[in-house]
Structure 1
Amino acid sequence: MAASTPIPPTIYLGTFVHSKSLSELEICDQGAIGVDSAGVIKFVERDVVRVEDVKAKHWEWKDAEVVRVEDGFFFPGFIDTHTHASQHANTGLFGKTTLLSWLSTYTFPMEASLESLTKALTIYTNFVSRTLSHGTTTCAYYGTIHRFSTNLLADICLERGQRALVGRVCMDTDLSPEYYRDTSVESAIEESAASIDYIRSIDPEGAIVRPIITPRFAPSCSASCLAALGALAQETAAHIQTHISENKPEIELVASLFPASTSYADVYDTAGLLTPRTILAHAVHLTPAEVQLVAARGAKISHCPASNTALTSGCAPVRDLLNAGIAVGLGTDVSGGFSPSILEECRQAIWVSRFVAMASSDAAKLSTEEALYLATRGGAAVVGLESKVGGFDVGMEFDAQMVRLGSVSEGGDQKGEFEAGPVDVFGFETTDEKVQKWVYSGDDRNTVAVWVRGRLVHRTGRYVK
């Protein structure tokens, strides 16, 4: 269903799970959520079984459609705060490389090829469909330096109804190959401004798609380019996304390229790129002073654990970032990351926190509840949507996924339609335990339907109203 298609008022009935706080999940085993034709949650009822009782209390909803979940639960849509749609075709092809060699070997050639709108259409359409199938309702996307294919990505997101921040990548130094870079600072700004204008023209209110200014990272941009992008961000009030302190050789390179700056974070701050609308990916090796600076500027961080492990970049100390008051979300960072699934990133974030704990203290460990918070409410704060999505609160918009789990019969086989499902439920589990099993064993086969602003944007054959 396209984003512009009207929707009927709907009552969602069954079990609901969402993050109440960083450390606490709220589980409602028998509840109802009323979503109006604008996709806004108008009421939340707990301890109800019969839809007739809900309609009797909310008489104006007597003709509302009803969607029930069985053998599972409703969960907020995932928010991917950092990924490269242009690298999707390379997923899994990081070989034995580290960051800088991986860029030249795999990434730049693939991104350069997306000047072809035909190829871009194929890759971007597939990636948006893939992320939706994993329950991702909002995504911060990097495109390429090509304005028209980046605009095409925004078109696809709007048509499919997936919330997205879509950015044209900027890079003007010889770190990037001659065949794939901006020809000048002026060209980078002109093309970026044109892309911002286009994205705002197709969705003036930014209800589904919004532009985001995207300097690739400090080494790929001259100081003058960074400063010009900072000025563009101030002029347009657009969001900003870039990378920071992903690995140690990169940090050393930044220090050599920007000798007047005191740190990697200071490079961005000097350029006016460290703002409350800034998303910084990775932040693996920030110094204490940089953490304080990022916190003071209100910038946000996207934690990409799978990518950081795949490229041997390091283990981000997420607990320290959270303790500093920084909003943190999760990012798949395809194709440095190997999966488009934020559920997979939940697992990876938990594992990485344990690696950090082995070298420090148990306080560094992230719980399952905390990982799910980063995947939803934390991510919402990172992309500036904390008042709209991330939970099932009255007044928020209904971005959700229906999660269904299989059950094991007495003989040991899975029953019914979920024979291919990866999660085994034996009947003794509480809802909390089912959620735990889903986090550690689940995948897109369990996500049978996805809604954005109350619109059904993905479903499988296992979805039954």
Structure 2
Amino acid sequence: MRQTNLESRNKVFLGSFVHSKVLDELEYLHQTAVFVDKSGTIVAIEKDCDESKARETVLPRLGWAEADVEVVKAKEGQFFFPGFIDTHIHAPQYPNAGIFGSSTLLQWLKTYTFPMEASLSEAAKARRVYTRVIRKTLSHGTTCAAYYATIDVSSTNLLADLCMGFGQRALIGRVCMDSELSPDYYRDASPEASIAATKATIAHIRSIDPAFSLIRPVITPRFAPACTLPLLRQLGALAEETALPVQTHISENKPEIALVQELFPRSLTGAADGSYAAVYDAAGLLKPRTVLAHAVHLTEGEADLVAARGAKVSHCPCSNSALTSGAAPVRRLLLDRGIVCGLGTDVSGGYSASVLEAARQAALVSRHVAFGPGGQERDKLGVEEVLFLATRGGAEAVGLGDKVGGFEVGMEWDAQLIGLGAIREDGEEEEVDDEEGGGGGAGNVDVFGWESWPERVAKWVYAGDDRNTIKVWVKGRLVHQRK
């Protein structure tokens, strides 16, 4: 998708805006105008502002000529919302979404995941799969995704190229795995080979996006059991040398934890204890730039260590349920430890590429934590909290908290236009006539008109889907429009 002359103009967005202020608070801005310059940066936010005021007062103040401005207006009942941040998704696994049967994590990897990932060394197949997963995630309002690719350099580089072309913000990780527990047809030949391949992908991404303004490489040990200790240590050294982010898995299920303790005893790692988190810490991989997926079964000591190192957590409620891994006590990590958390779809352990689905699952899973053993009412996540995790929390987790996740001057315009189905007096849905293209509003969410704005947003969280996502922008560029 190439940037058109229209997309390179300054933009004014008019209507209602909803975004997270803090963990438990959404801000509703009505009759507001947001001004976005050609670079995709928000330069002004004007409340109580209609199109006339925007043109007559604000444009002259900004020095913008009307002929060089595109105006985008939300219709009645529509609202602008920050783009979603998917902090954990496996791009090559997308064809397997929904195919997990009764598998546990380790069985599922051998049966479904490794064969699919290995097959994407075929360029045509990789292009087909990656094109689809990028289009699909954009259609669900995902403006930034932290992707795991495969061990293949060319396939990983292709994913970066496609994200760049479609305009999706992304962290791209070549998966590192050299352990004999990985299949012989799908593993790095040695720690040195893994590091060399990782550096090749970093160099490629730097060549297509030198400033990492849209695409960033991320150092990606698959998870501890898939890596030897020398590889983990060399990846830790590479993370220190390059100051790049790190992504991996931790404490997803109990057999995996037992395997880590067997493979990495304290006598081998020199860790303070034999915990999963301590293994990463001993290898130099537990850093403020690290995103740990799952963290379902962290011990109290591990939670303290993760918090002390400033590492982040990607909560993946859908896959944790699908693979019977467990229910992560996310609200305790947030409130008791101050650990930054975001949401991950974890396709294909998770069956949906929708962060909105992950948000609703996070709310439901938190209720299971609340009524489970030792659970409390305070373990429940509310609508405001799961939307925070989907936007600002995720942005902070992947190191973009100062750029995206909310609507503030100086932040970049990564956003989606949401439309909800209005119900007429006769009980039928009101048809949306958008002369600019981009239908939307149809779907599971019915708005009768008497709902408050918080109630409308709650309906969207619990019943919404991609049919409600009308348009999506990244850095001010239109990257998806519902037909």
**Which of 430, 434, 439 is matched with 2:456 structurally?**
434
Cα displacement string for residues 345-376 of structure 1 (whole angstroms, at most 9, x for unaligned residues): 11000001111111211010101000000000
Task: Give the paired residue count.
Answer: 460
Where does the alignment leave 5 or more consecutive residues of structure 1 unmatched? none
Letter in 2 for 1:301: V
The equivalences for 1:360-371 within 5 A come to 360-371=375-386
Say whether 1:447 aligns with 2:469.
yes
Tell whether 2:55 aligns with 1:55. Answer: yes
For the Cα contact (< 8 Å) 1:28–1:47, is it kept in 2? no
Measured in 2, the distance between the counterparts of 1:430 and 1:256 equals: 54
Tell me the distance in 2 between the aligned counterparts of 1:459 and 1:222.
Answer: 45
Aligned to 2:31: 30
Label 1:67 to 1:373 Cα distance change in 2 as closer, same or farther (>3 A). same
Matches of 2:260 and 2:244, distance apart in 1? 25
Query: Do 1:3 and 1:160's aligned partners in 2 also have CA atoms closer than 8 Å?
Result: no
Aligned to 2:130, what secondary structure does the other structure show? helix
Q: 2:353 aligns with which of 331, 340, 363?
A: 340
Q: Which residue of 2 aligns with 1:381?
A: 396
Mapped to 2, the partners of 1:314 and 1:2 lie a distance apart of: 43
1:2 shift after superposition: 3.5
Structure 1 residue 419: Cα displacement: 7.6
1:65-94 per-position Cα deviation (integer Å, ceiling 9, x unaligned): 110011310000000000000100000000
- Shift of residue 408, structure 1, vs aligned partner: 1.0
- The residue correspondences of 1:21-100 to structure 2 (distance < 5 A) are 21-48=22-49, 50-58=50-58, 59=60, 60-63=63-66, 64-70=69-75, 71-100=77-106
2:436 maps to: none
Distance of 2:453 and 2:29 partners within structure 1: 9
8 Å CA contact 1:151, 1:198 repeated in 2 = yes
Cα distance in 1, alignment partners of residues 84 and 441 from structure 2: 25
Answer whether contact 1:29 1:431 (CA < 8 A) is retained.
Answer: no
TM-score (norm 1): 0.97
1:314 aligns to 2:326 (yes or no): yes
Pairing 1:105–2:111 present = yes
Letter in 2 for 1:374: L
**Following TM superposition, by how much is the alpha carbon of 1:420 offset from its aligned partner in structure 2, in angstroms?**
4.0
TM-score where L is the length of structure 2: 0.94
Q: Is the 8 A contact 1:2 1:158 kept in 2?
A: no
1:282 counterpart residue number: 294
Amino acid at match of 1:319: R
Deviation at 1:29, TM superposition (A): 1.9
C-alpha separation between the residues in 2 aligned to 1:184 and 1:382? Answer: 30
Runs of 4+ in structure 1 off by over 3 angstroms are: 1-6, 417-420
Q: Secondary structure at the match of 2:32?
A: strand
5 Å-filtered alignment, 1:291-302, equals 291-302=303-314
In the other structure, the counterpart of 1:402 is 417
1:115-194 equivalent positions in 2, closer than 5 A: 115-194=121-200
> Counterparts of 1:247 and 1:4 in 2: how far apart (Å)?
47
Distance 1:346 1:232 in 2: 33
Letter aligned with residue 200 of structure 1: R
CA distance in 2, matches of 1:232, 1:65: 44
The one-character-per-residue Cα deviations of 1:183-239 (angstroms, maximum 9, x if unpaired) are: 111110110111111111110111110000100000000000100111111111111
Query: Which secondary structure does the structure 1 equivalent of 2:447 belong to?
Result: coil
CA-CA distance at 1:3 after TM superposition: 6.3
**Cα contact 1:86–1:114 (8 A) shared by 2:** yes
The 8 Å contact of residues 162 and 457 in structure 1, kept in 2 or not, is answered as: yes
Distance 1:15 1:381, change over 3 A: same
Cα distance in structure 1, aligned partners of 2:239 and 2:46:
42
Partners of 2:420 and 2:442 within 8 A in 1: no
SS of the counterpart of 1:231?
Answer: helix
Is contact 2:419-2:441 (8 Å) kept?
no
The CA distance in 2 between the partners of 1:370 and 1:419, in whole Å, is: 24
Is contact 2:249–2:292 with CA below 8 Å preserved after alignment?
A: yes
Partner of 2:341: 328
Gaps of 5+ in 2: 433-439
Question: Could you give the per-residue CA deviations for residues 155-187 of structure 1, whole angstroms, max 9, x where no partner exists?
Answer: 000001100000000111121110000111111
Taking only the aligned residue pairs, the percentage that are identical comes to: 59
8 Å contact from structure 1 (residues 69, 402) kept in 2:
yes
Contact kept? 1:2, 1:457, Cα under 8 Å: no
2: CA distance, partners of 1:3 / 1:25? 32
Quick one: structure 1 residues 3 and 247, their matched pair in 2 at CA, closer, same or farther if it must change by over 3 Å? farther
Q: 2:347, 2:203 → 1: CA distance?
A: 26
Q: Is the 8 A contact 2:12 2:34 kept in 1?
A: yes
The answer on whether the counterparts of 1:230 and 1:272 sit within 8 Å (CA) in structure 2 is yes
Residue 235 of structure 2 corresponds to residue 225 of structure 1: no
Corresponding residue number in structure 2 for 1:413: 428
* Contact 1:55 1:62 (8 Å CA) reproduced: no
Q: CA RMSD in A?
A: 1.2
